[in-house]
Amino acid sequence: MEELQALSQAPDLWNEPEKAQKLMSEKNHLQNALQNYQNMLKTLDDNLEMASVYEDDENMTAELLADFEKLKNQANQEKLEALLSGEADKNDAYMEIHAGSGGTEAQDWAEMLLRMYTRWAEKHQYKVSYEEETQGDVAGLKSVTIKISGYNAYGWLKSESGVHRLVRISPFDSNARRHTSFASVDVYPVIDDDIDITINEKDCRIDTYRASGAGGQHINKTDSAVRITHIPTGIVVQSQSQRSQFQNRDTAWKMLKAKLYEIELQKRSDEQKQKRDNMGDNGWGYQIRSYVLQPYRLVKDLRTGIETSDDKAVLDGDIDLFLSGYLAYLGQKKAEQ
């Protein structure tokens, strides 16, 4: 905090507004975390003192026990926040959703996932912006890329990378049969310009095409959309949200840079590297979560075992149960090691 206080008082701080805003955001977040910690300590001391004074009062004891339970839950939440200490955890996040095989069914499932994540972002006061969107042939989406902006966005969402499986009675099947659909989610951090990622343009193929989507004034109906393919890794990024080809090209380069940086981050962790290898080898077989709506109702994370029968709430964006559970799971594994 002392370091951030000194940096925030530099006379040339606002010469670079974007960097200044990030610094102030980090400072405010840390300030809040420290204040929460001090408040918890004071609440603990006050309650312990009250407990010693009113130890024979059953009503007061019951109230104090309820307060201690609330304090315990708050401490656990702060502990989870403290686990978001990776070098990119505090950054904004890019999220890509791709429909799996299965045509309209899978494309509709991809759109349902998009709705789930945008609802989650709205509930946490995160900003969502669209970078690329390819509509399905009949309904839903073939693919979509969004940017989720807010403190710790990547830290919370990075565990969502993987394949998501849906089982339901198909609304597109006239015989009302049960269908299984797959969609993949890939989350990677938005990185700062000062992180040095060197990309040889000779290793990239750049294509332009006409923007497609739901339409509207935000879509330019010229060949302004840009797709960049990084040949050595096979990574493909697309941007069509801006009016000009120049702006879309700039955004696409940033997305490619972010993806390459994410690969470097994952190489530092054997577990993360194994995860990426499994996804590459097994394709749709690497499932992280199953959403069953028929014949019973159950959403289950296949890594942590956490589950809930409230599928409607989950698809409306209430996924903190899974995000927090995965952070706790990683924290426990780290402690065991």
Higher pLDDT, 183 or 221: 183
Kindly state the tokens that stand for 155. 């830290």
Strand residues in 100-161 grouped as ranges (E): 127-135, 141-149
CB atoms within 10 A of CB 4: 16
| Torsion angle defined by CA atoms of residues 275, 280, 281 and 284, in that order, rounded to the nearest 10 degrees | 90
Say whether 57 sits in a helix, a strand or coil: coil
- For residue 158, CA distances in Å to 84, 101, 188 come to 10, 24, 7
Higher pLDDT, 265 or 9: 9
| Torsion angle defined by CA atoms of residues 188, 193, 194 and 195, in that order, rounded to the nearest 10 degrees | 30
Which strands sit side by side in the sheet containing 204-209, from one edge to the other? Answer: 204-209, 225-230, 235-239
Q: Show the DSSP H helices in 124-152 as ranges.
A: none
Q: Given the structure tokens 């565990």, which residue do they identify?
A: 159
CB atoms within 10 A of CB 264: 10
| Mean pLDDT lowest among 130-134, 220-224, 235-239 | 220-224
Using one digit for the tens of pLDDT, what is the confidence trace for 18-55?
788 888 888 888 898 899 999 999 999 999 999 999 98
| Mean pLDDT lowest among 33-42, 82-91, 100-109, 121-130 | 82-91
CB atoms within 10 A of CB 50: 16
User: pLDDT-based confidence at 221, cuts 50/70/90?
Assistant: low
Domains of the chain by start residue, with CATH:
2-82 (no CATH), 93-336 (3.30.70.1660)
